[in-house]
Amino acid sequence: MPALPASSREWHLVARPHGWPRPEDFALREVPVTEPGEGRILVRNLHFSVDPYMRGRMNDVKSYIPPFQLDRPMDGGAVGEVIASGAEGFAVGDHVLHGLGWREYADVDARQATKVDASLAPLTAYLGVLGMTGLTAYAGLFEVASFKEGDAVFVSGAAGAVGSQVGQMARLKGASRVIGSAGSDEKVKLLVEEYGFDAAFNYKNGPVKEQLAEAAPDGIDVYFDNVGGDHLEAAIASFNVHGRATICGMIAGYNDTEPTPGPRNMAMLIGKRLRLQGILVRDHADLQPRFVREVAGWLNSGELKYNETVVEGVENGVEAFLGVLRGDNTGKMIVSLTR
Protein backbone atom coordinates (compact mmCIF):
# COMPACT_ATOMS: atom_id res chain seq x y z
CA MET A 1 0.00 0.00 0.00
CA PRO A 2 1.45 3.42 -0.91
CA ALA A 3 2.28 5.88 1.84
CA LEU A 4 -0.67 8.03 2.82
CA PRO A 5 -0.50 11.82 2.54
CA ALA A 6 0.12 13.63 5.79
CA SER A 7 -2.69 16.15 5.36
CA SER A 8 -5.70 17.16 3.32
CA ARG A 9 -7.29 20.49 2.53
CA GLU A 10 -11.04 20.90 3.02
CA TRP A 11 -13.55 23.73 2.84
CA HIS A 12 -15.35 24.78 6.04
CA LEU A 13 -18.31 27.13 6.39
CA VAL A 14 -17.27 29.71 8.98
CA ALA A 15 -20.17 32.19 8.78
CA ARG A 16 -23.77 31.90 7.60
CA PRO A 17 -24.26 34.13 4.55
CA HIS A 18 -26.80 36.93 4.62
CA GLY A 19 -27.84 37.39 1.03
CA TRP A 20 -25.13 36.49 -1.47
CA PRO A 21 -22.34 34.33 0.01
CA ARG A 22 -18.95 36.00 0.25
CA PRO A 23 -15.52 34.34 0.09
CA GLU A 24 -14.93 35.27 3.73
CA ASP A 25 -17.86 33.03 4.74
CA PHE A 26 -15.60 30.05 3.97
CA ALA A 27 -12.16 28.82 5.01
CA LEU A 28 -9.83 26.31 3.36
CA ARG A 29 -8.24 24.38 6.21
CA GLU A 30 -5.59 21.70 6.45
CA VAL A 31 -6.34 18.56 8.49
CA PRO A 32 -4.35 15.38 9.16
CA VAL A 33 -5.00 12.20 7.16
CA THR A 34 -5.12 8.88 9.01
CA GLU A 35 -5.61 5.22 8.14
CA PRO A 36 -9.28 4.30 7.67
CA GLY A 37 -10.88 2.24 10.42
CA GLU A 38 -12.83 -0.97 10.05
CA GLY A 39 -15.60 -0.66 7.50
CA ARG A 40 -14.20 2.57 6.11
CA ILE A 41 -12.18 3.59 3.05
CA LEU A 42 -9.84 6.48 2.38
CA VAL A 43 -10.58 8.13 -0.95
CA ARG A 44 -8.51 10.58 -2.93
CA ASN A 45 -11.16 12.78 -4.42
CA LEU A 46 -10.69 13.37 -8.13
CA HIS A 47 -13.77 15.52 -8.74
CA PHE A 48 -16.49 17.03 -6.60
CA SER A 49 -19.78 18.71 -7.39
CA VAL A 50 -21.00 22.19 -6.44
CA ASP A 51 -24.75 22.67 -6.78
CA PRO A 52 -27.39 25.37 -6.23
CA TYR A 53 -29.11 23.43 -3.41
CA MET A 54 -25.99 23.89 -1.29
CA ARG A 55 -26.89 27.55 -0.82
CA GLY A 56 -29.91 26.54 1.27
CA ARG A 57 -27.74 24.33 3.47
CA MET A 58 -25.73 27.40 4.46
CA ASN A 59 -28.77 28.75 6.35
CA ASP A 60 -29.53 27.45 9.83
CA VAL A 61 -33.11 26.51 9.06
CA LYS A 62 -35.07 23.27 9.15
CA SER A 63 -35.28 21.73 5.70
CA TYR A 64 -35.28 18.42 3.87
CA ILE A 65 -31.54 18.13 4.43
CA PRO A 66 -29.54 19.25 7.49
CA PRO A 67 -27.68 22.56 7.24
CA PHE A 68 -23.92 22.72 7.00
CA GLN A 69 -22.32 23.02 10.44
CA LEU A 70 -20.09 25.98 11.15
CA ASP A 71 -16.37 25.24 11.35
CA ARG A 72 -16.95 21.76 9.94
CA PRO A 73 -16.19 20.48 6.42
CA MET A 74 -18.97 20.90 3.91
CA ASP A 75 -20.11 17.91 1.91
CA GLY A 76 -21.58 16.98 -1.45
CA GLY A 77 -21.18 14.53 -4.29
CA ALA A 78 -17.67 13.39 -5.18
CA VAL A 79 -15.90 10.67 -7.14
CA GLY A 80 -12.45 9.43 -6.34
CA GLU A 81 -9.97 6.59 -6.02
CA VAL A 82 -9.62 4.34 -2.99
CA ILE A 83 -6.08 4.66 -1.61
CA ALA A 84 -6.56 2.64 1.60
CA SER A 85 -9.31 0.25 2.63
CA GLY A 86 -10.56 -1.19 5.89
CA ALA A 87 -13.75 -2.47 4.26
CA GLU A 88 -14.47 -5.78 2.62
CA GLY A 89 -15.34 -5.43 -1.05
CA PHE A 90 -13.30 -2.28 -1.63
CA ALA A 91 -9.73 -2.44 -2.87
CA VAL A 92 -7.03 0.13 -3.47
CA GLY A 93 -7.53 1.50 -6.97
CA ASP A 94 -11.33 1.17 -7.01
CA HIS A 95 -13.25 4.23 -8.15
CA VAL A 96 -16.19 5.24 -5.96
CA LEU A 97 -19.02 7.75 -5.78
CA HIS A 98 -19.73 9.15 -2.31
CA GLY A 99 -21.02 12.21 -0.46
CA LEU A 100 -17.90 13.76 1.09
CA GLY A 101 -16.85 16.36 -1.42
CA TRP A 102 -15.33 19.80 -0.81
CA ARG A 103 -12.02 18.15 0.26
CA GLU A 104 -8.94 16.47 -1.18
CA TYR A 105 -9.14 13.23 0.81
CA ALA A 106 -12.23 11.67 2.37
CA ASP A 107 -12.57 9.05 5.11
CA VAL A 108 -15.78 7.38 3.96
CA ASP A 109 -18.09 4.82 5.55
CA ALA A 110 -17.99 2.08 2.91
CA ARG A 111 -21.77 1.65 3.22
CA GLN A 112 -22.09 5.18 1.83
CA ALA A 113 -19.87 4.56 -1.20
CA THR A 114 -20.78 3.08 -4.59
CA LYS A 115 -18.29 1.63 -7.02
CA VAL A 116 -18.30 3.21 -10.48
CA ASP A 117 -16.73 2.04 -13.70
CA ALA A 118 -14.45 4.57 -15.39
CA SER A 119 -14.42 2.44 -18.55
CA LEU A 120 -18.17 2.90 -19.10
CA ALA A 121 -18.25 6.68 -18.75
CA PRO A 122 -15.97 9.51 -17.62
CA LEU A 123 -15.91 9.72 -13.84
CA THR A 124 -17.40 13.21 -13.89
CA ALA A 125 -20.51 11.80 -15.60
CA TYR A 126 -21.40 10.02 -12.35
CA LEU A 127 -21.79 13.45 -10.73
CA GLY A 128 -23.93 14.76 -13.56
CA VAL A 129 -25.68 13.12 -16.46
CA LEU A 130 -25.48 9.60 -14.94
CA GLY A 131 -25.78 10.79 -11.33
CA MET A 132 -28.09 12.84 -9.15
CA THR A 133 -28.41 15.53 -11.79
CA GLY A 134 -29.54 13.18 -14.52
CA LEU A 135 -31.91 11.27 -12.25
CA THR A 136 -33.47 14.56 -11.13
CA ALA A 137 -34.17 15.46 -14.75
CA TYR A 138 -35.47 11.98 -15.58
CA ALA A 139 -37.73 11.58 -12.55
CA GLY A 140 -38.90 15.17 -12.64
CA LEU A 141 -39.99 14.98 -16.25
CA PHE A 142 -41.38 11.48 -16.55
CA GLU A 143 -42.74 10.77 -13.07
CA VAL A 144 -43.48 14.09 -11.36
CA ALA A 145 -44.63 16.02 -14.44
CA SER A 146 -46.26 12.92 -16.01
CA PHE A 147 -44.82 13.81 -19.42
CA LYS A 148 -46.53 12.19 -22.39
CA GLU A 149 -45.78 12.19 -26.08
CA GLY A 150 -47.03 15.34 -27.77
CA ASP A 151 -46.61 17.61 -24.73
CA ALA A 152 -45.14 21.06 -25.18
CA VAL A 153 -42.40 21.55 -22.58
CA PHE A 154 -40.83 24.69 -21.14
CA VAL A 155 -37.60 24.49 -19.10
CA SER A 156 -36.10 27.37 -17.14
CA GLY A 157 -32.38 27.38 -16.44
CA ALA A 158 -32.24 25.21 -19.53
CA ALA A 159 -28.50 25.43 -20.10
CA GLY A 160 -27.77 24.17 -16.60
CA ALA A 161 -26.95 20.64 -15.56
CA VAL A 162 -30.55 19.54 -14.94
CA GLY A 163 -32.38 21.75 -17.42
CA SER A 164 -30.28 20.75 -20.41
CA GLN A 165 -31.07 17.09 -19.77
CA VAL A 166 -34.79 17.70 -19.27
CA GLY A 167 -35.17 19.39 -22.64
CA GLN A 168 -33.29 16.69 -24.52
CA MET A 169 -35.17 13.87 -22.77
CA ALA A 170 -38.48 15.51 -23.66
CA ARG A 171 -37.41 15.78 -27.30
CA LEU A 172 -36.27 12.15 -27.38
CA LYS A 173 -39.63 11.04 -26.00
CA GLY A 174 -41.69 12.91 -28.58
CA ALA A 175 -42.46 16.37 -27.22
CA SER A 176 -44.37 18.51 -29.68
CA ARG A 177 -42.23 21.51 -28.77
CA VAL A 178 -39.37 22.17 -26.33
CA ILE A 179 -38.65 25.71 -25.18
CA GLY A 180 -35.84 26.84 -22.89
CA SER A 181 -34.74 30.00 -21.15
CA ALA A 182 -31.13 30.88 -20.35
CA GLY A 183 -29.09 33.87 -19.24
CA SER A 184 -27.00 34.64 -22.31
CA ASP A 185 -27.30 34.66 -26.08
CA GLU A 186 -24.46 32.12 -26.24
CA LYS A 187 -26.44 29.70 -24.07
CA VAL A 188 -29.57 30.26 -26.14
CA LYS A 189 -27.61 29.29 -29.25
CA LEU A 190 -26.34 26.16 -27.48
CA LEU A 191 -29.88 25.08 -26.56
CA VAL A 192 -31.12 25.27 -30.13
CA GLU A 193 -28.05 24.21 -32.10
CA GLU A 194 -26.55 21.51 -29.87
CA TYR A 195 -29.35 20.29 -27.61
CA GLY A 196 -32.12 20.44 -30.21
CA PHE A 197 -34.58 22.74 -28.43
CA ASP A 198 -37.22 24.09 -30.79
CA ALA A 199 -36.97 27.57 -29.33
CA ALA A 200 -35.05 29.39 -26.62
CA PHE A 201 -34.76 32.92 -25.29
CA ASN A 202 -32.49 35.05 -23.12
CA TYR A 203 -34.56 36.04 -20.10
CA LYS A 204 -32.43 39.18 -19.73
CA ASN A 205 -33.65 40.50 -23.09
CA GLY A 206 -37.22 41.25 -22.02
CA PRO A 207 -40.18 40.15 -19.89
CA VAL A 208 -40.22 36.37 -19.56
CA LYS A 209 -43.99 36.23 -19.94
CA GLU A 210 -43.85 37.94 -23.33
CA GLN A 211 -40.89 35.93 -24.61
CA LEU A 212 -42.46 32.64 -23.56
CA ALA A 213 -45.79 33.50 -25.17
CA GLU A 214 -43.97 34.22 -28.43
CA ALA A 215 -41.93 31.00 -28.23
CA ALA A 216 -44.97 28.87 -27.34
CA PRO A 217 -47.91 30.33 -29.27
CA ASP A 218 -50.01 27.21 -28.60
CA GLY A 219 -49.22 27.17 -24.89
CA ILE A 220 -47.29 24.65 -22.79
CA ASP A 221 -48.29 21.43 -21.09
CA VAL A 222 -45.24 20.84 -18.87
CA TYR A 223 -43.00 23.31 -17.07
CA PHE A 224 -39.74 22.23 -15.40
CA ASP A 225 -38.88 25.00 -12.95
CA ASN A 226 -35.29 25.62 -11.90
CA VAL A 227 -35.66 29.38 -11.43
CA GLY A 228 -38.99 30.39 -9.86
CA GLY A 229 -40.03 34.05 -9.73
CA ASP A 230 -41.08 35.60 -13.02
CA HIS A 231 -40.46 32.31 -14.84
CA LEU A 232 -43.08 30.48 -12.78
CA GLU A 233 -45.54 33.31 -13.25
CA ALA A 234 -44.94 33.24 -17.01
CA ALA A 235 -45.41 29.47 -17.13
CA ILE A 236 -48.74 29.69 -15.30
CA ALA A 237 -49.91 32.25 -17.85
CA SER A 238 -48.87 30.02 -20.77
CA PHE A 239 -50.18 26.73 -19.42
CA ASN A 240 -52.84 24.84 -21.28
CA VAL A 241 -55.61 23.17 -19.28
CA HIS A 242 -54.28 20.36 -17.06
CA GLY A 243 -50.71 21.63 -17.28
CA ARG A 244 -48.14 20.18 -14.88
CA ALA A 245 -45.09 21.80 -13.32
CA THR A 246 -42.15 20.13 -11.62
CA ILE A 247 -40.68 22.53 -9.08
CA CYS A 248 -37.03 21.54 -8.87
CA GLY A 249 -35.36 24.77 -7.81
CA MET A 250 -35.96 28.50 -7.42
CA ILE A 251 -32.48 29.90 -7.80
CA ALA A 252 -33.79 33.40 -8.52
CA GLY A 253 -34.61 33.76 -4.82
CA TYR A 254 -31.84 31.78 -3.12
CA ASN A 255 -29.93 34.87 -2.01
CA ASP A 256 -32.90 37.09 -1.19
CA THR A 257 -32.89 38.54 2.30
CA GLU A 258 -36.66 39.09 2.37
CA PRO A 259 -39.46 36.61 1.53
CA THR A 260 -39.86 36.22 -2.23
CA PRO A 261 -43.29 37.27 -3.55
CA GLY A 262 -45.27 34.45 -5.12
CA PRO A 263 -46.68 34.53 -8.66
CA ARG A 264 -49.44 37.11 -9.00
CA ASN A 265 -51.58 34.85 -11.19
CA MET A 266 -52.06 31.85 -8.91
CA ALA A 267 -55.84 32.01 -9.42
CA MET A 268 -55.20 30.58 -12.89
CA LEU A 269 -54.43 27.23 -11.23
CA ILE A 270 -58.15 26.81 -10.63
CA GLY A 271 -59.59 27.41 -14.07
CA LYS A 272 -56.75 25.62 -15.85
CA ARG A 273 -56.75 22.77 -13.31
CA LEU A 274 -52.98 22.97 -13.01
CA ARG A 275 -50.70 20.76 -10.91
CA LEU A 276 -47.49 22.12 -9.36
CA GLN A 277 -45.38 19.54 -7.55
CA GLY A 278 -41.97 19.71 -5.92
CA ILE A 279 -39.26 17.09 -6.42
CA LEU A 280 -36.55 15.64 -4.20
CA VAL A 281 -34.47 13.17 -6.13
CA ARG A 282 -34.05 10.85 -3.16
CA ASP A 283 -37.76 9.99 -3.41
CA HIS A 284 -37.16 8.38 -6.80
CA ALA A 285 -34.33 5.93 -6.13
CA ASP A 286 -36.50 3.12 -7.51
CA LEU A 287 -36.09 4.64 -10.98
CA GLN A 288 -32.29 4.32 -10.87
CA PRO A 289 -31.93 1.05 -12.86
CA ARG A 290 -34.30 2.20 -15.61
CA PHE A 291 -32.72 5.65 -15.67
CA VAL A 292 -29.15 4.33 -16.03
CA ARG A 293 -30.16 1.84 -18.71
CA GLU A 294 -32.06 4.35 -20.83
CA VAL A 295 -29.73 7.32 -20.42
CA ALA A 296 -26.60 5.22 -21.01
CA GLY A 297 -28.17 4.09 -24.28
CA TRP A 298 -28.83 7.67 -25.33
CA LEU A 299 -25.27 8.66 -24.45
CA ASN A 300 -23.76 5.75 -26.37
CA SER A 301 -25.84 6.54 -29.44
CA GLY A 302 -24.97 10.24 -29.28
CA GLU A 303 -28.63 11.21 -28.96
CA LEU A 304 -28.10 12.85 -25.56
CA LYS A 305 -25.39 15.45 -25.15
CA TYR A 306 -24.01 17.12 -22.06
CA ASN A 307 -21.56 19.83 -21.14
CA GLU A 308 -19.46 20.37 -18.05
CA THR A 309 -17.79 23.47 -16.69
CA VAL A 310 -14.62 22.31 -14.93
CA VAL A 311 -12.72 24.41 -12.40
CA GLU A 312 -9.30 23.07 -11.41
CA GLY A 313 -8.06 22.90 -7.84
CA VAL A 314 -9.64 22.50 -4.42
CA GLU A 315 -8.60 26.07 -3.64
CA ASN A 316 -11.07 27.27 -6.28
CA GLY A 317 -14.03 25.33 -4.87
CA VAL A 318 -15.83 28.33 -3.39
CA GLU A 319 -15.35 30.42 -6.51
CA ALA A 320 -16.82 27.56 -8.56
CA PHE A 321 -19.85 27.45 -6.24
CA LEU A 322 -20.36 31.21 -6.49
CA GLY A 323 -20.13 30.81 -10.25
CA VAL A 324 -23.09 28.43 -10.16
CA LEU A 325 -25.17 31.03 -8.32
CA ARG A 326 -24.16 33.64 -10.91
CA GLY A 327 -25.00 31.29 -13.79
CA ASP A 328 -21.41 31.15 -15.06
CA ASN A 329 -21.62 27.42 -15.79
CA THR A 330 -22.83 25.67 -18.90
CA GLY A 331 -24.05 22.26 -17.81
CA LYS A 332 -22.67 20.66 -14.67
CA MET A 333 -20.14 22.59 -12.57
CA ILE A 334 -17.31 20.30 -11.48
CA VAL A 335 -14.28 21.00 -9.30
CA SER A 336 -11.43 18.77 -10.46
CA LEU A 337 -8.51 17.78 -8.24
CA THR A 338 -6.59 15.74 -10.79
CA ARG A 339 -3.69 18.12 -11.29
- CATH 3.90.180.10 positions along the chain are 7-128+306-336
Give the separation between CA 253 and CA 18, rounded to whole angstroms: 13
- CATH 3.40.50.720 positions along the chain are 132-282
* Distance set, CA 102 to CA 10, 113, 259 (Å): 6, 16, 30
The amino acid present at 59, given as its one-letter code, is N
CATH of 7-128+306-336, one of 3.40.50.300, 3.10.20.600, 3.10.300.10, 3.90.180.10: 3.90.180.10
Environment class of residue 128 by beta-carbon count within 10 Å: exposed (0-12), middle (13-18) or buried (19+)? buried
Give the pLDDT of residue 247. Answer: 97
The amino acid present at 270, given as its one-letter code, is I
Give the separation between CA 299 and CA 305, rounded to whole angstroms: 7
Parallel/antiparallel/unpaired status of strands 152-155 and 177-182? parallel
The pTM (predicted TM-score) of the whole model is 0.89
CB-CB neighbours of 4 under 10 Å: 17
Q: Are 134 and 128 in contact (CB under 8 A)?
A: yes
Q: Are 245 and 222 in contact (CB under 8 A)?
A: yes
Give the pLDDT of residue 119. Answer: 87
Per-residue confidence in pLDDT tens, the chain, 339 aa: 568 999 999 999 999 999 999 999 999 999 999 999 999 999 999 999 999 999 999 999 988 889 999 999 999 999 999 999 999 999 999 999 999 999 999 999 999 999 999 988 899 999 999 999 999 999 999 999 999 999 999 999 999 999 999 999 999 999 999 999 999 999 999 999 999 999 999 999 999 999 999 999 999 999 999 999 999 999 999 999 999 999 999 888 888 878 878 899 999 999 999 999 999 999 999 998 899 899 989 999 999 999 999 999 999 999 999 999 999 999 999 999 987
Give the separation between CA 304 and CA 134, rounded to whole angstroms: 11
Top-tier CATH class for 132-282:
alpha beta
Give the separation between CA 178 and CA 166, rounded to whole angstroms: 10
SS percent in the chain: helix, strand, coil, step 5: 35, 25, 40
Residues 6+ away with beta carbon under 8 Å from 148: none
